[in-house]
Amino acid sequence: MKTENTKKDERVRTKEEQRELDAFHDLLNRYLSGEPLADHDRQMVEGIVAHEGEEATDADATEAGERVWSSLQKELEDKRRRRSPKVMHFPRYAVAAMIVVLIGIGSLLVYNTTQAGIPLNMEIVADAAMVAETLPDGSVVHLNVGSKLHYDKKKFNVKNREVWLVGEAFFEVTKNPEKPFLVHGDEITTTVKGTSFNVKAYPGTQTNVVSVRDGRVEVSTVKDGTLAVLTRNRQLTLNTKTHSCRTDSLEWQNAGGWIDGTTLVLNMAGLEEIKLKMKQYYGVELSVRGDALNEIKLCGKYSHKEGAKALLRQMCDIYGMEYSTKGNRIELYR
């Protein structure tokens, strides 16, 4: 139920203010859905959400809206009295936008989003060990060490089945031609209707890889559109820096063999990914002297029992390197 104060605010809202509210409503929906926005629009939305991030979890949307409306009006009035040039950074459009965020858009009050528009209300995390979990549609996701999966519990399996991945995961997707299953990972989106496949999308590693065990998957990016349609034992590798991609044949175990919980699998792994995996699996900080391994793309399977030694031996043999150890730090050099 709306309070008298809220009703009063609504009665004095002008047509211009209402148009601003409606415009921001559309902008926020586009932001929440992950649609690319112009830089100034995206920065404005992110600034507003960050400004009231904790308040936006208030269970009473009306009360939260009244509080923010009042505080923003007071802040604007204080700045006007001081004649500060910073007033220009809080125009009426931003005030109207905040009302929409906290009153007009219930979804933002129920679950916050990250700057990338990823829903946060359902999160599966694999910190120190692999995690396997069944999703609401019956699909099974295996998360590799150091990975996270997010999805919107209210929207998942309504029109489609949409998840956001940070890291690496193997999916066994329940078949449903009417509700596509979409995996957003770093720069790629993988779309399927029922299949099993591996997605590797660690931010900052410059390589995204999709590998298929069974079925048919479509891989795309916002910038390039559809990159490829993959079938059994096919793989796509995207260089996120150059946006070049390649497709290859492989046995799926060479990409998803890590799900047995006993093996470290490197599949077209560059130096940054190798450093990341060494830290996640073995607690080792790996460094390389010079630029000898900047262009490395390593494939291999290593038993957890062997620790980091088997991987280091192979790297040294292939690339003519040596290594020194000091505590949990290892340096490769020539």
pLDDT in tens, 185-221: 999 999 999 999 999 999 889 999 999 999 999 999 9
What are the structure tokens assigned to 300, written together? 């291999």
Residue 84: the pLDDT is 43
Residue 307: CB atoms within 10 A of its CB come to 16
Higher pLDDT, 124 or 81: 124
Write the DSSP string, 139-200: -EEEEPTTEEEEE-TTTBTTTBEEEEEEEEEEEEPPP-TTS-EEEEETTEEEEESS-EEEEE
Confidence of residue 268 (pLDDT cuts 50, 70, 90): confident
Confidence of residue 295 (pLDDT cuts 50, 70, 90): confident
Higher pLDDT, 304 or 90: 304
Query: H-helix or E-strand containing 40?
Result: helix 39-51
Burial class (CB in 10 A: 0-12, 13-18, 19+), 121: middle
Confidence of residue 39 (pLDDT cuts 50, 70, 90): low
Residue 74: the pLDDT is 58
Domains of the chain with bracketed CATH? 4-110 (no CATH), 122-255 (2.60.120.1440), 262-333 (3.55.50.30)
Mean pLDDT of the residues in the chain: 78
Is there a contact between 205 and 270 (Cβ–Cβ < 8 Å)?
yes
Residue 100: the pLDDT is 47
Mean pLDDT (whole number) for 247-272: 91
What are the structure tokens assigned to 254, written together? 């060479």
Its pTM surpasses 0.85 = no
Confidence of residue 225 (pLDDT cuts 50, 70, 90): very high
Higher pLDDT, 61 or 241: 241
Query: H-helix or E-strand containing 213?
Result: strand 207-214
DSSP SS3 for 102: helix
Is a pLDDT exceeding 80 seen at residue 127? yes
Mean pLDDT (whole number) for 52-62: 42
Among 78-87, 100-109, 166-175, which range has the highest average pLDDT?
Answer: 166-175
Is there a contact between 58 and 64 (Cβ–Cβ < 8 Å)?
yes
